Amino acid sequence: MKDLESRIFTLVVAVLATLLIWTWAADRTREVRVLTGTVLLRPTDPAKQFVDPAPAQSVQVTVKASPATITRLQGLLEQGLTLPVGSGPLTNEPGLRKLDLAQIIDNAPEVLATDASVISVRPERIDVRVGAMVPVRMSVTVAASMVTLSGTADITPSEVQALVPEPSAEAASKERAEAVIDAKGLPDRTPQTAEASLRLPDSLKLSASQVTFTPDRVRVRFTVAGKSHSFTLPTVRIEIAGSPEDLKAFDVTFPDKGDLIRDVVLSAPGNALNPIEDDQARVVAVVHLTATDLAKSITQKVVSAWVVPPGVQVESAAGVRPSEVMVQLKIQPKAAPASENTGAAAGAPSAN
């Protein structure tokens, strides 16, 4: 009996020793790496709740993980790591709060399923608002890029229900949903019928993830009157706008030479694009910063407006809708002028 107990004890010790060695070896193969990418805040039930900010948020995540996990996490961040509201510390309680990004990312399901440990995240915290979605009735208009339509399009149904974030409900009720049709390849002067998806107008500053339409498609009868001309600008310069009083206290720059937006597609009827093609008119993307944006040193913001000649519109930029173009920023308070520091030192009482 004692011999059996001794054997069992020896076996248990051997197993424990093996586990400790494996654990030690696994930890020794883990590396500390800095990963870059974006995270997406999303409600678990988009029909009931919204979460702001909705656009992808740029992050820099320092993790300790095995090489295979590092590769996997970098891929997830490049695609946009989804952080669901109602999971872990990202509760679905309505209201505005400041959250620790390291804790949230460390508790994301995709990260919990790996051997990764999140050490730090930049930015460290993020302001998040969770609230209710409410229904509004919206009439529907047609949005047709690169063409002009003849007369008035017939839309069925002409009115739809849209679930939108409660703070935007009043503004949405005064706007019209857009039925998006692609008519570029269709012949002129010939009646057409097409199914069209719906979207909110750019003026509401809401992303596609923040609206649910019922029905989500409509039928449109229309006639193409003529084609618009298009022109692609390789780059468009970004300008910062805001109150001079607010801006004078901060240095606003663009990291990684990001002061240009690439592949900006323009369209216009007739000869309206000629001044741009001949370098006689400029196109500028404007990012407006408020006093709050500057005080928080935000790291990104969508383009607020596009400066274009009359009759010209921006169809897309960097492959996305013009209202969804995100600009990366670096905001730092300006140092006090040396003269002020000298004066303060000169005016300080003597220590003797």
Percent of the chain past pLDDT 90, that is, above it, reads 59
Using CA atoms, how far apart are residues 10 and 2, in angstroms rounded to an integer? 12
State pLDDT tens for residues 264-281: 999 998 889 999 999 999
- The confidence band for 226, taking pLDDT boundaries of 50, 70 and 90, is confident
Per residue in 229-262, pLDDT (tens digit) is 899 999 999 999 999 999 999 999 998 778 999 9
pLDDT confidence of residue 3: 64
Write down the H helix ranges in 126-253: 169-173, 244-247
Mean pLDDT of the chain: 86
pLDDT score, position 348: 45
Compute φ and ψ for 190, nearest 5 degrees.
Answer: -120, 120
Query: Which burial class, exposed, middle or buried, applies to 43 when counting CB atoms under 10 A from its CB (0-12, 13-18, 19+)?
Result: buried
- Distance of alpha carbon 273 from alpha carbon 314, whole angstroms: 11
Statement: residue 211 has pLDDT above 70? yes
Token output for 315: 């169809």
Judge if 133-227 and 229-333 fold alike in CATH terms: yes
Q: What's the pLDDT score for residue 13?
A: 56
Tokens of 24: 């030690």
Confidence of residue 299 (pLDDT cuts 50, 70, 90): confident
- pLDDT bucket at 24, cuts 50 / 70 / 90: very low
Q: CA 121, CA 62: separation in Å to the nearest integer?
A: 6
Query: Which CATH number is 133-227's, of 2.170.120.40, 2.40.50.420, 1.10.640.10, 1.10.260.30?
Result: 2.170.120.40
Phi, psi of 350 (to 5 degrees): -70, 145
Give residue 284's identity as a one-letter amino acid code: V
Nearest-angstrom CA–CA distance, 198 and 178:
5
Q: Which pLDDT tens digit goes with each residue over 96-117?
A: 888 899 999 998 989 999 999 9
Rounded CA-CA distance 227/242 in Å is 37
In residues, how long is the chain? 352
Domains of the chain, residue spans: 29-123, 133-227, 229-333
What is the pLDDT averaged over residues 148-165? 93
Domain 229-333 annotated CATH 2.170.120.30:
yes
pTM: 0.73
Higher-confidence residue of 351 and 334: namely 334
pLDDT at 4: 56
Q: E-strand spans in 167-228?
A: 177-181, 191-199, 212-214, 217-227
Query: Among residues 306, 324, 313, which one has the least CA distance to residue 237?
Result: 306
